[in-house]
Structure 1
């Protein structure tokens, strides 16, 4: 067991909330571009997760839809 195991987990969305509170004036233009690239990658990852969940739901709906 490590010390990380003993620490409470952060709430869902806490990271996004923290990002929204950061002072962007402290970042250079290059750092802001890197930040935007990282955020875009997370958006793309989220969209892929949504697509996968929708595909699973559609498959389940098709499986259990007996013509009704």
Structure 2
């Protein structure tokens, strides 16, 4: 799956721009900082997904009674 399939109508989407950024000019330290920032964002997204799943499960349990 390529980026155009994921973000067809969002040419200015920050994620699309991030993925297309040239990494060659970055130093090793900058690359490590980038990885740390992206891992932090991944953790934040996983937390949001978990909260959404838990919220949905709670709502479903409430309405099943």
Moved over 3 A (4+): none
Larger radius of gyration: 1
Matches within 5 A, 1:30-41: 30-41=29-40
d(CA) in 1 for partners of 2:15, 2:35: 13
Question: What number of residue pairs does the alignment pair up?
Answer: 55
The residue number in structure 2 matching 1:25 is: 24
Shift of 1:60: 0.3
The alignment yields a C-alpha RMSD, in angstroms, of 1.4
* Higher relative contact order, structure no. (Cα contacts within 8 Å, ≥ 6 residues apart): 2
TM-score where L is the length of structure 1: 0.76
Gaps (5+ residues) in structure 2?
A: 1-9
Pair 1:46-2:60 in alignment: no
d(CA) in 2 for partners of 1:26, 1:16: 19
TM-score where L is the length of structure 2: 0.79
